[in-house]
Amino acid sequence: MRDETSLNPPVSIQDGHGGIEKKLTGIPRRSQLALLVAPSALWLIILLVLPLITMIGLSFQKSAFGPDSEVFTFASYLNFWQNSAYQSLLGKSLWISLVVAGLSILLAYPVAYFLAFHAGDKQSLLLNIMIIPAWTSFLLRVLAWRLILGSNGLINTFLMWLGVIQEPISGLFYSVNAVIITLVYIWIPFAALPIYVALLRIEPGLLEAASDLGAKPWQGFFKVTLPLSIPGILAAFLYVFIPTVGEYVTPALVGGPNGLMIGNIIWDQFMRGLDWPMGATLSLVVMLIVLLPLVFMAKAAQQTGLFGGKSE
């Protein structure tokens, strides 16, 4: 019995299962299967479902601790609704996430294309070369970009040595640009993977057919390859967009005051300002914004069979 899963695309679906296995005594009963799932399910409920429910409750409290914590109020939501600072910060975070996701996909696509179609027998080696940086310390790689973009960093030192500039370029560091550059750098391997997988699934025969029918290579790309790789592009988009919306470490390290994102405010509410209800409200807003496109895409995928899943 081969099996497709909602997270992994089906390898191939064979029918006719169940014929033989029903007769076997060793076929797991439902209770046995439930026993296998129970530990994970319990863990997910205790550490994910209950905490999220707590957060929803907290967002309606007047204060996290003390007698005021008994008071039910919409104050945090009203505050979010009226405070344009929160909204513009959220807008900026979404904008940064969109730009980062777009740039990552744009830069990663040629790499994925090269790996899928032109890498030959070196494919898996080159793929590993791409992926390894993604697994090394996130914090240290962000720190490295401080060394590259900073006023005494690699770029400024190099340009001054060349004599192109006299003074360090100040716009490079502690800016939105620095956040975007660093995050794009972080996400390129993650964006390349799903696109690569989608490209691998394209039947070579389709491109041959296109070329037999007189399509030029670029026409073949735009009419065949690109449309068929859309599931990979969407998966890459989600891979990058979702974690970037809530990102706060990179802005804190390279963003400076102008490069802060909504995640930094949430962090402040919990670790400094101690307005936990407000922090909970902002977290829930971020969560909704992340989950909505996800649900939307999942729905679209079910209807069109388009979305190949978020597999590697």
Partner 1 sequence: MNKPQISIFGSVYFVLMAIFLYLPIFILIVFSFNDSTVLAFPLKGFTLDWYRQLGNARELLISARNSVWVGVLSSLLAVLMGSLAAIAMTKRHMPGRNIFLSLASVPLVMPSIVLGVAVLVFFRKVLGLELNMWLIAAAHVLISIPSTILIVMARLADFSANLEEAAMDLGANYWMTLIKVTLPISFPALVAAFLTAFTTSFDEYAMTTLITGTDTTLPVYLYSLLRFPRRLPVAVAMGSIIMIVSAVLVVLAEWLRRWGTARTPKEERV
- Count Cα atoms within 13 angstroms, Cβ side, for 51: 6
Binding test (CB under 8 A) with partner 1, winner from 15, 16, 40, 84: 40
**What are the DSSP E strand ranges found in 24-135?**
none
3-state helix, strand, coil in the chain (%, to 5): 75, 0, 25
- Where in 91-110 is the site for partner 1 (CB under 8 A)? 107, 110
Residue 159 makes contact with partner 1 by CB under 8 A: no
Q: Cα separation of 23 and 45, whole Å?
A: 35
Binding test (CB under 8 A) with partner 1, winner from 79, 87, 157, 177: 157
Number of residues that bind partner 1 (CB under 8 A): 109
Least separation in angstroms between residue 204's CB and partner 1 is 5
Residue 228 makes contact with partner 1 by CB under 8 A: no
DSSP-assigned beta bridge partners for residue 72 = 61
Task: Report the candidate in 178, 195, 276 with the shortest Cα–Cα distance to residue 233.
Answer: 195
Binding test (CB under 8 A) with partner 1, winner from 81, 88, 106, 124: 124
- CA distances to 144, 155, 169, 259 from 151, in Å: 13, 9, 7, 17
Binding track over 51-90 against partner 1, x by CB under 8 A: xx-xx--x-----xx-------------------------
Binding test (CB under 8 A) with partner 1, winner from 89, 96, 111, 172: 111
Q: Cα separation of 223 and 215, whole Å?
A: 9
- Where in 172-211 is the site for partner 1 (CB under 8 A)? 185, 188-189, 204, 207-208
Binding test (CB under 8 A) with partner 1, winner from 79, 226, 246, 275: 246
Least separation in angstroms between residue 187's CB and partner 1 is 11
Q: Which is nearer to partner 1, 84 or 128 (CB)?
A: 128
- Interhelix angle 84-117/230-245, nearest 10 degrees: 140
Residue 267 makes contact with partner 1 by CB under 8 A: yes
Residue 286 makes contact with partner 1 by CB under 8 A: yes
Residue 257 makes contact with partner 1 by CB under 8 A: no
- Count Cα atoms within 13 angstroms, Cβ side, for 12: 2
Structure tokens at 143: 């720190």
Burial class (CB in 10 A: 0-12, 13-18, 19+), 215: middle
Least separation in angstroms between residue 230's CB and partner 1 is 19
Contact 207, 225 (CB under 8 A): yes
Least separation in angstroms between residue 288's CB and partner 1 is 10
Binding test (CB under 8 A) with partner 1, winner from 100, 238, 254, 260: 238
Residue 274 makes contact with partner 1 by CB under 8 A: no
